[in-house]
Chains A and B, each alone.
Chain A
Amino acid sequence: MRAAFVETATALLAERDDIAVVLADISVGPFERSGAIAAFPHRVFNVGIREQLMLSVTGGMALEGMRPIAHSYTPFLIERAYEQIKLDLGHQGVGAILVSIGASYDDPGSGRTHAAPEDVSLINALPAWTVYIPGHADEARLLLRDAAERTDKVYIRLDATQNSSAVEHPSRLTTIRSGLSGSPLVIAVGPMLDRVLAAAGDMDVAVAYTAAPLAQSPADLAATMKGDDLIIVEPTTAGTSLGRIAGQLSDRPRRFLGIGVPLGEHRLYGTVADHEAHHGLNATGIRHQITEWLS
């Protein structure tokens, strides 16, 4: 997905004078190879290993009417300079696009310092952010273009894992597999779709997909549900979106399960597959969690 991001951002820089890319050493190589740095020296700004400055610069560019895209590794983009996100964008009343790579543990050998399953929870704690978690490179292209057209604050979280194919309208809630009346609904977020479908197998569950779990209207959520059980499977901390979604479905009692990375100071290395197995986030683990909960 990073390649899709760099290619689309480079195209946007060429198409629009108000697009800028702000970097803190991460992904400078890909933007050099895309030609963006040579072609737009003032609009691709690498500030070095200075994340506070990266985000303040993003805010300053937005104050001057630009549509900046700040990009780094997940924990360095979202966690390291969180107050700059809160104040230099939100409190200034300006918009911007943040794009991360690294997801929850895309560089597992690097351990906890490079892991950030909490990122979306942090962004969701701030007002008026739009969060996109694309499940495929083509969705990442589409959602970056969508974000460029908007003027608000958008966070796009890119994952090294993707589904076998893209969903046509990733920011909406799309029913992938209908259930019977009363069937539990499983919402797969971003890169979790393929393994959710594999986990669902012959179970009596409906499956829906979105890259923007908090952008769905209560009416759409209610219409997609066939019963009163909702399971949301996210690549971030378990239950990241659950509180807000449950709050939107408060018209009658329902049951909710959030599947994701368990909150913990995980001191784990190995591979991405090792982490998924450990956290119960591969198809087998997800099936097990759903079965246990429904039984």
Chain B
Amino acid sequence: MTPTHSNDLAPLHRLLSRLTGDEKHNTGAHSTLHVLWALYSRVLRIEPDNPHDELRDRFYLSKGHGPHAYYAVLAAHGFINPDMLDSFGSLTSPLGHHPDRTLVPGVEIASGSLGHGLGLAIGAYRALQAKRLTTPRLYVLIGDGELDEGSNMEAIQVAGRLRMERLTVIVIDNNSSTYGWNDSIGSRFEVEGWVSSNVNGQDVVALATALNTAHDRPHVVVAHTERSAS
């Protein structure tokens, strides 16, 4: 797969290098990079100077491991100071190998243990409904390996049956699930009442188009990428 819009990602190279120490950074090594870039540059309505705006879109990075791309994107979009990247992984750095919402501006949930983000999003969705806030959209990023966790199924069932139409899940499919999904991750969602799309996980424009498409039901975007990516 060719990064269709590699120019889009140019600002991220130097930021990623500050996190990894590699001078020549291969953006393809990060399975989430193009999705995160699409979200922050073309989808999410969220401002770094007002990160708690009640009407913002919510983005939950449920697949919290390998957060280099996330931190780089947050730095590129002004949520965190790029200087913070140099401290990555040190004892008292706000930037750990799993993101922590209480330490990093712009991070909506603390993640790392798999299978928590989607359930949290169902609760947030319900709270927004209770407050009659119909503007915010909720996006949750999970991995195909993370989908092994049964807690996701509890959430997929309820979101589908309750037609949570402003909820979008992005599944990064880099074939990391031990037993696999028989090439039909989307069908697991569809059978519970979701709409599903399959997109090239490195095509920023196609990702953004899929993520911005409104539906009358919750939507899963399966973003296909290569293995090897973290």
* Complex interface: chain B residues within 8 A of A84 (CB): 116, 119, 151
* Complex interface: chain B residues within 8 A of A241 (CB): none
Q: A50-B154, A53-B151, A91-B110 are in contact. Are A59 and B129 (CB under 8 A)?
A: no
B123 near A63: Cβ-Cβ < 8 Å: yes
Segment of B77-85, B101-109, B171-179 in the binding face: B101-109
- What's the Cα separation between A83 and B151 when bound, in Å? 11
* Complex interface: chain A residues within 8 A of B124 (CB): 60-61, 63-64
B101 near A93: Cβ-Cβ < 8 Å: yes
Q: A66-B127, A83-B113, A91-B110 are in contact. Are A60 and B154 (CB under 8 A)?
A: no
* Complex interface: chain A residues within 8 A of B12 (CB): none
A59 near B158: Cβ-Cβ < 8 Å: no
* Complex interface: chain A residues within 8 A of B102 (CB): 92-93
One digit per residue, 1 when the CB lies within 8 angstroms of any chain B CB and 0 when it does not, for chain A 59-82 equals 111111110100000000000000
**How many residues belonging to B are interface residues under a CB distance threshold of 8 Å?**
29
Please tell me the size bucket of the interface on A: 20 to 34
| A60: contacting residue among B110, B126, B151, CB under 8 A | B126
Using CB atoms, name the residue of chain B closest to A57: B123
- What's the Cα separation between A61 and B131 when bound, in Å? 11
* Complex interface: chain A residues within 8 A of B108 (CB): 63
A52 near B151: Cβ-Cβ < 8 Å: yes
30 contacts between A and B (CB under 8 A): A22-B123, A42-B130, A43-B130, A47-B122, A48-B158, A50-B154, A50-B157, A52-B151, A52-B154, A53-B122, A53-B151, A53-B155, A56-B116, A56-B119, A57-B123, A58-B123, A59-B119, A60-B120, A60-B121, A62-B123, A63-B108, A63-B127, A64-B128, A66-B127, A87-B110, A87-B113, A91-B100, A91-B110, A92-B102, A92-B110
Give the 8 A-B residue pairs with the shortest CB-CB distance, closest first.
Answer: A60-B123, A56-B119, A64-B127, A57-B123, A50-B154, A53-B154, A60-B120, A60-B124
